[in-house]
């Protein structure tokens, strides 16, 4: 793991992309603590989240679970301005 890979230092949180099956209305943004929703052409919705730590990420995943949304992936995204890591992010 490279130093700038957020997953290597999960206690510090970071940016994650949560990908869900189905198109979610924008109204869900408030439910997911204001994180931005993007509906993708492949019928999925991505949730772009900055979380302070792992506990907050797990909190969001609980919310995904609790409304029965099918979870496809959780991907760490290298923060801008930090060293870009090949393969990190998408």
> Which residues here bind another protein, judged by CB under 8 A?
20, 22-31, 43, 45, 63, 65-69
Q: Which is nearer to another protein, 67 or 83 (CB)?
A: 67
Q: Which is nearer to another protein, 15 or 63 (CB)?
A: 63
Q: Which is nearer to another protein, 4 or 29 (CB)?
A: 29
**What region, left, alpha or beta, does residue 6 occupy, with left being phi > 0 and alpha being psi -120 to 50 degrees?**
alpha
Q: How far apart are the first and last CA of the chain?
A: 16
Q: What is the DSSP letter of 32?
A: T
């Amino acid at each position: 793991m490279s130093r700038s890979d957020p997953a290597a230092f999960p206690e510090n949180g970071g940016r994650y992309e949560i990908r869900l099956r189905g198109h979610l209305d924008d109204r869900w943004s408030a439910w997911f603590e204001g994180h931005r929703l993007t509906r993708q052409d492949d019928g999925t919705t991505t949730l772009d989240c900055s979380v302070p730590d792992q506990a907050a990420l797990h909190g969001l995943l609980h919310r995904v679970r609790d409304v029965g949304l099918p979870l496809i992936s959780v991907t760490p995204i290298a923060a801008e301005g930090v060293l870009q890591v090949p393969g990190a992010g998408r």
